[in-house]
Amino acid sequence: MTQEFTDIDSEELDGLIQRVQEAKEHDLALSPEDCQILLKALKTLAALQERLSDNDITLHKLRKLVGMVRSSETMDTLLGQKGKGSQKRPRPRATKPNTQVKPKITQHKLDDLSKGDRCPECQQGKLYKYEPATLLRITGQSPFVPEQHIMERLRCNACGQYFTAKLPDEVVEDGKPGQKYGYSARSLMALHKFFAGAPYYRQESIQALMGVKLTASSVFDQTELVASSLQPIYTLLLQKRLTLCITIWTTQVTGS
């Protein structure tokens, strides 16, 4: 059996597991890329079982194969033993990476429609379960809290019309559809920058300590959006102040 090994980091593995779970819950099909990764993993597992059954692999080789130890490590390091006439070397302590805050998953169901109903748009086809719509919304708290909204979605098999569950009012009021960072998050970033005096990179470092992945460039972009939204108000206040100054100056000059 041909062995195929695929390197996949923890984030990609977590994402794959989440997509498989969502496909199982919503009765959906996996993408060709995910199916290819799973196929390679199954082939790798089958190859390992075959070699173990044939006594063709030792425990030490298996540990190196799955990446638990490096091939350049000595036996003393692997067994934690000191050599003859030598002192035991202290083993380096592994540093635990910061655990990122995972988004809170919120399901939104269709209240007035269900699978198998007649399409209200064309009155001909029937609705079937379709891949749900998703929205990742980050709200303004400390630390910033990501929440993954999954909206149930049906599709007519005749006209192809989509029917998606509505989001709660508090989610809609905090940002437009498809907007990742809510208004509350944007406002808090701007307050941290201009009132608390926290630079963009420092906000990135603070959020990283709390397990939230937020880059300095993202903070800058969202703060710029806040400034652009407030620009018309600032311009109007500036014009009114200029008008008031002109009025006061005219009154003093004319004496009326």
Q: What is the mean pLDDT of each run of 10 residues along the chain (256 residues)?
A: 56 76 77 80 73 62 57 51 50 54 82 89 89 81 81 91 91 90 93 91 89 91 94 92 88 75
Tokens of 74: 């000595």
Radius of gyration of the chain (CA): 29
The position carrying tokens 């808090």 is 188
Q: Give the model's pLDDT for residue 96.
A: 47
Indicate the residue type of 2.
T
Confidence at residue 185, expressed as pLDDT on a 0 to 100 scale:
93
Q: Can you say how many angstroms the Cα of residue 97 is from the centroid of all Cα atoms in its chain?
A: 17
Give the pLDDT of residue 132.
86
- Cα 228 to its chain centre, rounded Å, is 26
Token pair 């909206």 is found at 151
